[in-house]
């Protein structure tokens, strides 16, 4: 199975492009006339690709990101409206439609150059390969904690500033005054000397005729009016009275319902089906066989679900029905022992020499299991094939990519697929892969009427693209003073981001690398991707290094971060706020962790109480430096969310594999953290002013190690395998085989 290249490109592309891409968002010339028919209604003018003005002077921001709970749409509006000096109360947003012309300019093909060839001036700055790849990928992705730090920084701010500049030019021309004498505020332009004042809308048509400026001037931070303020999210009111429209809320005339079972053994195929019992069930319209799945189409979901249980599918398991979690970890162990196809992530200093000279060597093996995403909304989509076209209603993280996937599956031209994107009831990476929407399209193609495909929770849990299980092996060399002088780490299966296994600590000799150990279990990005595993591994093992030399884990980290003031600042802030170092009663413990991911730094201190082996997580104190918090409350909400998501996984999360298939099926055996178990979370923000970072994922990686380190502090048991529920903490666990 390959890597999820689409996302890999997305994140590496951000690195490759970096600051060079500033100003490019609008550089492809005068595109508004081509885009206008896609997004404007009567009495609306598209000023540039990302903003339109109504005759009533209302501003609409066109946002190329979907909403799965992260609140990015409001934050992106803030960024554009601030640069444009638009009136916030009359500014709204629409999600960019899934057309190639609205591919995510700030992250993909459109961002770099649209359909235009690469201007010669930019050729040296653009990675040619990256350009070719993104061009073919139809990127309109929400993921990688990238909305604000790419689309916002390189797209929305520039588009807002450009729009303001275009409107000013139009006003200067209409009023025959120098642009420099004009001022803007709340969607109005004023000329003080002549006492004139007019709304933006008056100049919208003239502005739309202009070619956007290539490098509009951005506001310095001190002039921000909206950025940096916690404005209420615009999507929230509809989410408290049942009016928010998720994909499953779609209802079409003549619509029928379907549910499906894919081959339980991953990679299996459908051999045969006995549809007779199911077909005679009330309300059943059709039993549909697909290559690797069987579905029932009925008048209602419940009827389809009842009937599906009566279908007796025979599966070809492709010989994969003997694989288990045990066999997978045995394979990992073997590949780590053998160093199978080991590739280096980082090699620095004289590692062998350091181990030869070591006063003490610390070793440990860590393991984490497969994880499901378990979005609250099971995956679902509605499809309708009619008149040579296919319409899709779905909530997904990549509308344009999904549209192309459907076109390919049904052998349609992409222009003949229309995709209506909806709010997602959770995404977390699951809703970036189009497997289920292809199923919906295939069913609709067979039954020729609108079909709403809804997966059962059991199907959602057992047919996920899982967070990969990983084993990671460590060795550290300590000198006579107890200081680490070498760090050696090998783990199975690298995905992305590439830097996830790297540590920020000043250890002179380092050898970090990965071995190959593929399995048949489908995988995909899961909130914070490889950071979710490596954050736990590295931040736990550095704690082991501290314990081996009787060093305070906070003080040791601080010392090894000398020369990294931002890292030190977040670590110190979390420790101070959590009263690090003050004594705790017996049975209680504190743990600390630091993780840099997606451009943001997060330090966390966790406090636990362990009574009779039962762990309660009392308090989490987080310090975050995301460069600049566009919406401090929004950033706080995302850190809280990332922590609870990661804490659920650390305490309970485990998909086990038996007979080649996933065992867990619903929330009774794949537990989620509940209200009565949720810790108090305090988030402290540092605006360091460096390049802006992400918010949706950086809260997740640090919680598992901070928790495990707190459990060690409270009990003396070192947690090297997740989830924590597999540990019997009534006694001190020494060996790995005591777990589970």
Partner 1 sequence: MTTFTVNGTQQVVEVDPATPLLWVLREQLQLTGTKFGCGMAQCGACTIHINGQPVRACVTPLASAQGQDVTTIEGLGSVANNPHPLQQAWIDEQVPQCGYCQSGQIMSAAALLAKNPEPTDADIDTAMAGNICRCGTYGRIRKAIKRAAGQAVVQNFDPSLEVQHG
Q: Which of residues 370-409 bind partner 1 (CB under 8 A)?
A: 374-378
Q: Quick one: which of 672, 716, 725, 739 contacts partner 1 (CB under 8 A)?
A: 672
Q: Which residue is it, tokens 């209802």?
A: 251
Least Cβ distance, residue 241 to partner 1 (angstroms): 5
Residue with Cβ nearer partner 1 (590 or 684): 684
Residue with Cβ nearer partner 1 (116 or 691): 691
Residue with Cβ nearer partner 1 (391 or 459): 459
Q: Quick one: which of 394, 629, 655, 724 contacts partner 1 (CB under 8 A)?
A: 629
Rounded CA separation 305/116 (Å) = 49
**Phi, psi angle pair for 207, to nearest 5°:** -65, -40
Rounded CA separation 314/317 (Å) = 9
Least Cβ distance, residue 377 to partner 1 (angstroms): 5
Residue with Cβ nearer partner 1 (111 or 455): 455
Rounded CA separation 657/327 (Å) = 9
H helices of 20-156, where? 32-39, 72-84, 109-112, 128-137
Residue with Cβ nearer partner 1 (341 or 579): 579
Least Cβ distance, residue 664 to partner 1 (angstroms): 12
H helices of 419-578, where? 435-447, 457-462, 531-548, 553-560, 565-577
Residue with Cβ nearer partner 1 (237 or 334): 237
Rounded CA separation 114/162 (Å) = 17
Residue with Cβ nearer partner 1 (201 or 636): 636
Least Cβ distance, residue 456 to partner 1 (angstroms): 6
* Interaction mask 65-84, partner 1, x per CB under 8 A: --xxxxx-------------
Least Cβ distance, residue 625 to partner 1 (angstroms): 7
Least Cβ distance, residue 645 to partner 1 (angstroms): 6
Within residues 630-669, the interface with partner 1 by CB under 8 A covers: 632-633, 636-637, 640-645, 647-648, 666-668
Residue with Cβ nearer partner 1 (44 or 459): 459
Structure-block tokens of residue 593: 């962790």
16 neighbors 127 (Cβ within 8 angstroms): yes
Q: Quick one: which of 194, 616, 680, 736 contacts partner 1 (CB under 8 A)?
A: 680
Q: Does 87 bind partner 1 (CB under 8 A)?
A: no
Nearest to 630 by CA among 145, 228, 102, 90: 228
Within residues 255-314, the interface with partner 1 by CB under 8 A covers: 257, 282, 300-303, 305
Rounded CA separation 711/716 (Å) = 7
535 neighbors 597 (Cβ within 8 angstroms): yes
Least Cβ distance, residue 458 to partner 1 (angstroms): 8
Cis geometry, peptide bond prior to residue 497 (ω within 30 degrees of 0) = yes
Q: Which residue is it, tokens 């295939």?
A: 442
Contacts of residue 585, defined as CB under 8 A and 6 or more positions apart, other chains included, come to none
Residue with Cβ nearer partner 1 (375 or 492): 375
Q: Which residue is it, tokens 């653009």?
A: 126
Number of residues that bind partner 1 (CB under 8 A): 80
**Phi, psi angle pair for 453, to nearest 5°:** -90, 120
Residue with Cβ nearer partner 1 (644 or 708): 644
**Phi, psi angle pair for 623, to nearest 5°:** -120, 135
Least Cβ distance, residue 655 to partner 1 (angstroms): 15
* Interaction mask 433-462, partner 1, x per CB under 8 A: ---------------------x-xx-----
Q: Quick one: which of 399, 401, 425, 553 contacts partner 1 (CB under 8 A)?
A: 425
Strands 380-386 and 451-454: antiparallel
* Residues 309-323: b if buried by 16+ CB within 10 A, e if exposed: ebbebebbbeebbeb
Residue with Cβ nearer partner 1 (310 or 457): 457
Only one of the segments 5-13, 172-180, 383-391, 417-425 lies at the binding site for partner 1 (rule: CB under 8 A); that segment is 417-425
Structure-block tokens of residue 140: 């309109």
Beta bridge partners of 185: 188
Only one of the segments 128-136, 182-190, 402-410, 687-695 lies at the binding site for partner 1 (rule: CB under 8 A); that segment is 687-695
Within residues 478-507, the interface with partner 1 by CB under 8 A covers: none
Residue 279: CB atoms within 10 Å: 15
603 neighbors 613 (Cβ within 8 angstroms): no
Q: Does 424 bind partner 1 (CB under 8 A)?
A: yes
Least Cβ distance, residue 678 to partner 1 (angstroms): 4
Rounded CA separation 506/513 (Å) = 18
152 neighbors 21 (Cβ within 8 angstroms): no
Only one of the segments 152-160, 382-390, 502-510, 680-688 lies at the binding site for partner 1 (rule: CB under 8 A); that segment is 680-688
Q: Quick one: which of 370, 423, 466, 727 contacts partner 1 (CB under 8 A)?
A: 423
Q: Does 616 bind partner 1 (CB under 8 A)?
A: no
Residue with Cβ nearer partner 1 (338 or 376): 376
Least Cβ distance, residue 295 to partner 1 (angstroms): 17
Residue with Cβ nearer partner 1 (94 or 376): 376
Residue 480: CB atoms within 10 Å: 9
Say how far residue 285 (Cα) sits from the centre of its chain: 38
Within residues 221-250, the interface with partner 1 by CB under 8 A covers: 228-233, 235-244, 246, 248-249
Least Cβ distance, residue 640 to partner 1 (angstroms): 6
Only one of the segments 3-11, 314-322, 359-367, 424-432 lies at the binding site for partner 1 (rule: CB under 8 A); that segment is 424-432
Beta bridge partners of 188: 185, 199
574 neighbors 592 (Cβ within 8 angstroms): yes
* Interaction mask 563-582, partner 1, x per CB under 8 A: ---x--x---x---------
Least Cβ distance, residue 546 to partner 1 (angstroms): 26
Rounded CA separation 629/227 (Å) = 8
Structure-block tokens of residue 641: 């969310």
**Residue 586 in 3-state DSSP?**
coil
Least Cβ distance, residue 530 to partner 1 (angstroms): 21
Least Cβ distance, residue 211 to partner 1 (angstroms): 38
The angle, 0 to 180 degrees and rounded to 10, between the axes of the packed helices 201-208 and 157-175 is 100
Q: Quick one: which of 686, 707, 722, 729 contacts partner 1 (CB under 8 A)?
A: 686
Residue with Cβ nearer partner 1 (121 or 675): 675
Contacts of residue 411, defined as CB under 8 A and 6 or more positions apart, other chains included, come to none
Residue with Cβ nearer partner 1 (132 or 251): 251
Rounded CA separation 637/617 (Å) = 19
């Amino acid at each position: 199975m390959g890597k999820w290249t689409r996302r890999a490109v997305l994140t590496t592309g951000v690195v490759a492009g970096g600051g060079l891409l500033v100003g490019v968002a609008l550089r492809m010339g005068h595109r508004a006339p081509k885009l206008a028919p896609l997004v404007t209604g009567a009495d609306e003018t598209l000023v540039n690709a990302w903003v339109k003005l109504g005759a009533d002077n209302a501003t609409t921001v066109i946002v190329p990101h979907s909403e799965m709970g992260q609140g990015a749409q409001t934050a992106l509006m803030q960024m554009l409206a601030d640069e444009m000096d638009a009136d916030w109360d009359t500014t709204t947003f629409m999600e960019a439609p899934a057309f190639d012309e609205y591919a995510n300019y700030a992250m993909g093909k459109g961002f770099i150059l649209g359909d235009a060839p690469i201007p010669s001036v930019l050729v040296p700055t653009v990675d040619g390969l990256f350009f070719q790849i993104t061009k073919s990928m139809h990127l309109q992705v929400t993921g990688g904690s990238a909305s604000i730090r790419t689309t916002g920084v390189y797209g929305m701010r520039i588009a807002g500033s450009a729009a303001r500049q275009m409107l000013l030019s139009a006003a200067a021309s209409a009023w025959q005054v120098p642009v420099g004498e004009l001022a803007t505020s709340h969607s109005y332009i004023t000329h003080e000397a002549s006492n004139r004042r007019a709304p933006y809308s008056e100049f919208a048509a003239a502005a739309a005729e202009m070619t956007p400026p290539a490098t509009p001037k951005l506001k310095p931070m001190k002039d921000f009016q909206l950025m940096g303020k916690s404005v209420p999210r615009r999507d929230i009111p509809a989410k408290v009275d049942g009016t928010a429209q998720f994909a499953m809320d779609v209802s079409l005339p003549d619509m029928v319902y379907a549910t499906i079972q894919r081959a339980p053994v991953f990679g299996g195929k459908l051999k045969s089906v006995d549809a007779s019992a199911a077909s005679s069930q009330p309300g059943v319209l059709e039993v549909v066989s697909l290559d690797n799945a069987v579905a029932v189409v009925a008048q209602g979901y419940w009827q389809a679900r009842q009937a599906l249980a009566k279908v007796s599918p025979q599966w070809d398991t492709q010989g994969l029905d003997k694989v288990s979690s045990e066999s997978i970890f045995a394979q990992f162990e073997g590949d780590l022992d053998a160093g199978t196809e080991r590739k280096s992530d980082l090699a620095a200093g004289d590692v062998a020499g350091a181990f030869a000279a070591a006063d003490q060597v610390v070793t440990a093996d860590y393991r984490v299991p497969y994880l499901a995403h378990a979005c609250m909304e099971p995956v679902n989509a509605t499809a309708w094939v009619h008149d040579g076209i296919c319409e899709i209603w779905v909530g997904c993280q990549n509308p344009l990519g999904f549209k192309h996937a459907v076109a390919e599956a049904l052998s349609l031209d992409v222009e003949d697929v229309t995709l209506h994107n909806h709010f997602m009831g959770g995404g977390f990476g699951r809703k970036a892969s189009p497997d289920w929407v292809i199923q919906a399209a295939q069913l609709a193609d067979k039954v020729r009427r609108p079909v709403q495909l809804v997966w059962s929770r059991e199907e959602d849990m057992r047919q996920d693209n899982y967070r990969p299980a990983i084993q990671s092996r460590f060795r550290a060399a300590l000198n006579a003073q107890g200081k680490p002088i070498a760090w050696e780490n090998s783990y199975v299966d690298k995905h992305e981001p590439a830097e996830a296994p790297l540590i920020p600590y000043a250890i002179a000799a380092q050898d970090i690398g990965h071995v190959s150990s593929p399995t048949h279990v489908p995988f995909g990005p899961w909130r914070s991707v490889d950071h979710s595993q490596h954050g736990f591994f590295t931040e736990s093992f550095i704690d082991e290094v501290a314990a081996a030399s009787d060093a305070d884990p906070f003080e040791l980290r601080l010392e090894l971060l000398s020369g990294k003031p931002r890292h030190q600042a977040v670590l110190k802030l979390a420790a101070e706020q959590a009263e690090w170092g003050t004594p705790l009663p017996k049975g209680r413990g504190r743990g600390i962790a630091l993780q840099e991911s997606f451009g943001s730094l997060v330090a966390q201190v966790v406090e636990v109480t362990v009574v009779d082996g039962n762990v309660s997580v009392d308090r989490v104190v987080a310090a975050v430096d995301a460069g600049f918090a566009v919406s401090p409350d929004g950033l706080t909400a995302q850190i809280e969310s990332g922590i609870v998501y990661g804490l659920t996984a650390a305490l309970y999360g485990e998909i086990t594999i038996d007979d080649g298939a996933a065992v867990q099926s619903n929330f009774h055996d794949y537990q989620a953290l509940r209200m009565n178990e949720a810790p108090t979370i305090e988030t402290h923000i540092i605006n360091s002013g460096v390049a802006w970072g992400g918010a949706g994922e950086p809260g997740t990686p640090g919680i598992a190690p901070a928790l495990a380190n707190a459990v060690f502090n409270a009990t003396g048991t070192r947690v090297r395998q997740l989830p924590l529920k597999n540990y019997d903490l009534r006694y001190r666990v020494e060996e790995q085989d005591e777990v589970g």
